[in-house]
Amino acid sequence: MNAAIQAYTLLDDEDCEARIIAARETLGDSLVILGHHYQRDEVFRHANFTGDSLKLSRQAAASRAMYIVFCGVHFMAEVADILSRPDQIAILPDMSAGCSMADMADLQHVEAAWAELSEVLDADESITPVTYINSAADLKAFCGRHGGIVCTSTNARNVLEWSFKQREKVLFFPDQHLGRNTGYTMGIPLDKMVVWDFDKPRGGLTGEQIQQAKIILWKGFCSVHQMFQSEQIDNFKQKYPETKIISHPESSFEVCQKSDYIGSTEYIIKTIREAEPNTRWLVATELNLVNRLHDQYKHEGKNVHFMSPNVCMCSTMFRIDPQHLAWVLENLVAGHVVNQISVPADVAEQAKLALDRMLEVSP
């Protein structure tokens, strides 16, 4: 652990809250704090803006702030750095706050996959690479170089429709479930969506499988959404048959097929917010968000339940705590920038190409 933060780890949350509030007042408009929906409440309450990662980055870039403190994970702060102005500085309170899904695809493995695919067909002529925004900046840059694009859980269908207009196939990474669930809603059969296992030669696929595929799905997943099972839906509905099921598309195909609603975190929030009073919801997404929805709408008689019987939160997101936030802010007050996220200029330029393509085709 960084010696500079060790003293902060001994502070209780109440002390941190007072110090965070004081630092925010001192920094004023030069600071914007971004809070992702999955963030713990002790940190979430201090955010100037809350939401999904792309929305937050765009809000920060449009603000007057010099310092963007992203209470999220590493790839989110990278996007904030790419989309922000040159005079803005992106900061991640804890550098160990990563994303297990994003880590399942790295540039070395994706470039190797591209080379192996090129042995079967002309990849640059036949395949549009699509990376989920939950990925490292160098993978977004890879897509920028190869005529590809970035997607979010909100715009994945629009992005895939654009991608198929460019080339006949898509390589979709790192989350296989978002790719499969989106492709299926577009009428693509399951047997036309194959999984590329990056630990096996040529992804574990035959040349014929690659030739016949419409979407080549990377063997990646979200550790949180992987926990949800279709049996959990069955068991819950035996007790409460009136329950509405709503799931994030990072959940498995089987879970999504048994869901009444499928969509991003913003979509889940909007759907439950606008639902009739006295309704019951079983939700397949991160625990902090589900608990927040339960607390916000219980006065309307809405019962919001977490799908998994086991506690399942985003453990890397949970690394951002009040102690790290207080440490970062008090360093800014003292004139010191710590934990700056700075994407190399050449990578940022290529990544922005892929991000700009996404923004052009998004509704």
pLDDT in tens, 20-37: 999 999 999 999 999 988
Cα separations (Å) of 21 from 25, 33, 36, 263?
Answer: 6, 12, 19, 34
CA distance 135 to 142: 11
- Is residue 252 predicted with pLDDT exceeding 90? yes
Residue 320 tokens, joined: 């951002």
pLDDT band at 362 (very low <50, low <70, confident <90, very high): confident
pLDDT digits (tens, 9 = 90+) for 258-290: 999 999 999 999 999 999 999 999 999 988 899
d(CA 174, CA 332): 35
Q: What domains does the chain contain, in order, with CATH numbers?
A: 3-98+316-343 (3.40.50.10800), 102-222 (3.40.50), 225-306 (3.40.50.10800)
Neighbours of 63 (CB within 10 A): 18
Residue 263 is inside which H or E element, if any?
A: none
Question: What is the average pLDDT value for the chain, to the nearest integer?
Answer: 93
**Beta bridge mates, 89:** 67
Mean pLDDT, rounded, for 233-262: 97
pLDDT value, residue 134: 92
- pLDDT classification of 57: cutoffs 50, 70, 90: very high
pLDDT for 206 beyond 90: yes
Confidence (pLDDT) at 317: 59
- pLDDT at residue 354 above 90? yes
* Reported confidence tier of residue 318, pLDDT bands at 50, 70, 90: low
| 10-24, 29-43, 173-187: range with highest mean pLDDT | 173-187
pLDDT of amino acid 96: 87
Asked if pLDDT for residue 315 goes beyond 80, the answer is no
